[in-house]
A and B are shown apart, each in its own frame.
Chain A
Amino acid sequence: MTFKPVPATVAAVSDSFVPDGVIATSVEAVVNWGRRNSLWPFPFGTACCGIEFMGVVSSVFDISRFGAELVRFSPRQADLLIIAGTITYKQAPVLRRIYDQMCEPKWVISAGACATSGGFYDCYCTVPGIDEIIPVDIYIAGCPPRPEAFLEGLVQLQNKIAREHLKEQKAVGA
């Protein structure tokens, strides 16, 4: 994917033609602004990282400061798939199906060593990285990642969404 120069998010126009309180901007900037600040995550938490994700949602780390607190357990209602935990070959068809059921636009965060690369389970039953099955936008390191790392990953994703173009179809593995 190539990125074109980023338009200013919201540009206020101090022009005498338009009355006060009216701003002019691109549709893209407004849509992306809305999308990135209201991500609805689907936590695909299978293992230890999932427990740590629960910590991120709880009040100490409070993911709602970033507008992503509305955790949905239906893929139809979510636009951010957070894979937190080891994915095994037995789980793989389920994960793929969940991803397929999510509506566009959708993004994927792979949290933790296991989801990213299989972690230290290099074994007959573990998928060595979920990018074998679905495309991934952001990888978070750690075993498990600290809650701060989760939030950093979320911010990175928001920055990425801000640079997206409406005309360009997201490359998805469908």
Chain B
Amino acid sequence: MSTAAGKGISGEGDVRSWKREPIKPGKSDDQLQALAAERFGLARDAKDRWNLTMTLAAGQAKAKLHEVVRVLRDDPELRFDMLLDLAAIDYLSYPNHRGPRFAVVYLFKSLVFRHRFKLKVEVEEDDAELPSIHDLYRIADWSEREVFDQMGVVFSGHPNLKRILNHHEFIGHPLRKDYPCQKRQKLSINDPMVDQLESRLKHFGYQVVDSGEVHLGAPIAAKHQSVAEQGSVDTQKQKNAAGAVGAGGI
């Protein structure tokens, strides 16, 4: 058995792509740091003491982010061809924090070289907007939706910036530190998603003449009430929840 090369499913051999090659040694964190500082003027983030995180300041993000990410992806020495995840952080209650309230950390990984890169983009509270990179990485489409949903950072140029984890009637952004953990919001009826399907059909060149009807049943709010009246639920609990949500929630 060799550990160097993988075993194909239908027997040994038949290597079809270069990707079967073992991963090549990558750049060290220091090399990457020097490179990022020189090419994009990024500074190393002192908070990450374990790996390399480079910071893109809030003022520069709009102009530079897309270009920086494109170079990270395409540069033959870097080849960060995988966007692993977007992690948004709200520093509202972080002790002794100076600087913008939010940060979005882009986690990159290369499949060619053994190195990783974290790009931290600072985001101001009153201008929480970043350029979308959905055209560079397909996964960015959904990852950006998640950051928008959970943290309220808007991505300009995103084709479909809808909520993804929370329901479409949700108000606010739950992972912000000022969103109370137990503030519940009810949903009356599920998102029909017809608009998404139509835009997808348009993408393939179809023109929607008549979208027809989509049945999702009656909204749930009225039925909630009738169960409550039978006394089988803790009505007070429900009232509290409803009160906390306000007019838009139910």
> Which residues of A are interface residues toward B (Cβ below 8 A)?
89-90, 92-94, 96-97, 100, 122-126, 128-129, 131-135, 171, 173-174
Contact = CB atoms under 8 A, between A and B. Distances in A.
A173 B232 contact: yes
Contact of B220 (A93, A128, A171): A93
Interface in B177-199: 179-190
Q: Is the interface of B mostly helix, strand, loop or mixed?
A: loop
Contacts of B220: 92-93, 96, 133
Contacts of A131: 227, 232-233
Interface string B149-192: 00000000000000001110000001000011111111111100
Given A93-B188, A93-B217, A135 B232 contact: yes
A134 B227 contact: yes
The listed residue with most A CB atoms (<10 A of its CB), out of B165, B183, B227, is B227
Contact of B187 (A89, A123, A173, A174): A89
B190 A124 contact: no
A90 B190 contact: yes
B186 A124 contact: no
A171 B230 contact: yes
B219 A93 contact: yes
Nearest to B226: A173
Contacts of B180: 124
Given A92-B187, A124-B183, A174-B226, A132 B166 contact: no
Interface residues of B, number: 30
Given A94-B190, A124-B180, A129-B233, 8 more contacts: A92-B187, A93-B188, A96-B220, A122-B182, A125-B166, A131-B232, A171-B230, A174-B226
Given A90-B167, A173-B223, A174-B226, A128 B186 contact: no
A96 B228 CA distance: 14
A131 B231 CA distance: 10
B236 to A, nearest CB: 12
12 contacts: A89-B186, A89-B187, A93-B188, A122-B181, A128-B184, A131-B233, A132-B224, A132-B227, A135-B232, A173-B227, A173-B230, A174-B223
B238 interface: yes
Given A89-B167, A92-B220, A93-B189, A124 B182 contact: yes
A135 B227 contact: yes
